[in-house]
Amino acid sequence: MVKKRHANQKYDKLSPEADHIVLRELGDASFVPLGSWKMRTALEAAGIETSEATVGRLLRRLDMMGFTRSVANKGRILTEKGKHQLQLLEQEREHLVPQENLLRVIRSERIEDLLDILNARRIIETETARLAAIHATDSELRELEESVRWHKEFMLGTGGKVDQNVVIHRLVAQASRNQVLQALVTLLYKDRGLIETHYKIQLLMGGRYPEEHDPLLQALLEREPDRAAEAMSAHLSYLIKVVQEYARKVDGENPARPVQIQVPQGDGIQLKGVK
């Protein structure tokens, strides 16, 4: 089912997408002029509800930009400049589709998607840990040490009002000095809801413990790359095992169903580093 949006109410936000739809429709028609009613039909087929007046304003703006040209009373055609703009928009769209697909998976509530993300994290963060052991500055190591201490206090209930778990993993990625891996880690930690779902599963399954980052921290402090990589891999493998056990417990036959988790009162989760 296509979700309806209102171009006349949120025109500025929708104009790039609306431009693309209109230019593509004209491009498909080649040199055959198309009327505004055809543009409106194309926009509504894409889920954008609009009025004739709004379509008229959009077309006049495209005329002024030199992308379209009115042909007497027959409608509009795409200009050479418009064809070039359409090509640019199509190329941009090709680059955006993989990113949109990844974000869709990250925002998913399915157990199988959570496991896919954890497996991706294991591959990526094993390498960030190895590189961090080589490249981390002394100040970064001190900051990591402090975050691990706060994490322990939070877990033990002896202090620390905010869980530092995400901060720890982002600090390791930062210390790796690899911008691509750092960007991937940031993206994988992007969705707060998914992280909270994972934490709730760990709470229910008894899969959280205060010392979970100690082997990693020790390897980083001693600047042993292979041991740091092994510690991160073991840490994330354990998290994967916890989620797999939860999946078998709640619905072993259907890991694709949405996660429905109830955490006892008082087990609220506050996260630092998730935006």
Q: Among 3.30.2080.10, 1.10.10.10, 1.20.58.1690, 1.10.287.70, name the CATH number for the domain at 5-100.
A: 1.10.10.10
Q: Kindly write down the DSSP assignment for every residue of the chain, as one continuous string.
A: -PPPEETTTSHHHHHHHHHHHHHHHHHHTTTS-B-HHHHHHHHHHTTEE--HHHHHHHHHHHHHTTSEEEETTTEEEE-HHHHHHHHHHHHHHHHHHHHHHHHHHHT--BHHHHHHHHHHHHHHHHHHHHHHHHH--HHHHHHHHHHHHHHHHHHHTSS-SSB-HHHHHHHHHHHTT-HHHHHHHHHHT--HHHHHHHHHHHHHHT---TTTTHHHHHHHHTT-HHHHHHHHHHHHHHHHHHHHHHHHHHHTT-TTSBP---PPTT----BSS--
138-182 tens-digit pLDDT: 999 999 999 999 888 887 876 555 568 889 999 999 999 999 999
Q: For residues 180 and 257, which has the higher predicted lDDT (pLDDT)? A: 180
What is the third-level CATH fold of 108-251?
A: Four Helix Bundle (Hemerythrin (Met), subunit A) (1.20.120)
Please state, rounded to an integer, the average pLDDT across all residues of the chain: 79
**pLDDT value, residue 19:** 87
Domain boundaries, the chain: 5-100, 108-251
Question: Looking at 26-30, 191-195, 220-224, which range is the least confident one?
Answer: 191-195
196-244 tens-digit pLDDT: 776 777 776 765 677 889 999 999 999 999 999 999 999 999 988 888 8
- Mean pLDDT for the stretch of residues 232-257: 78
Position 11 pLDDT exceeds 80 = no
Position 187 confidence tier, pLDDT thresholds 50, 70, 90: confident
**pLDDT value, residue 89:** 83
Q: For residues 102 and 129, which has the higher predicted lDDT (pLDDT)? A: 129
**pTM above the 0.75 mark?**
no
Position 31 confidence tier, pLDDT thresholds 50, 70, 90: confident
93-122 tens-digit pLDDT: 766 555 555 555 545 567 777 888 889 999
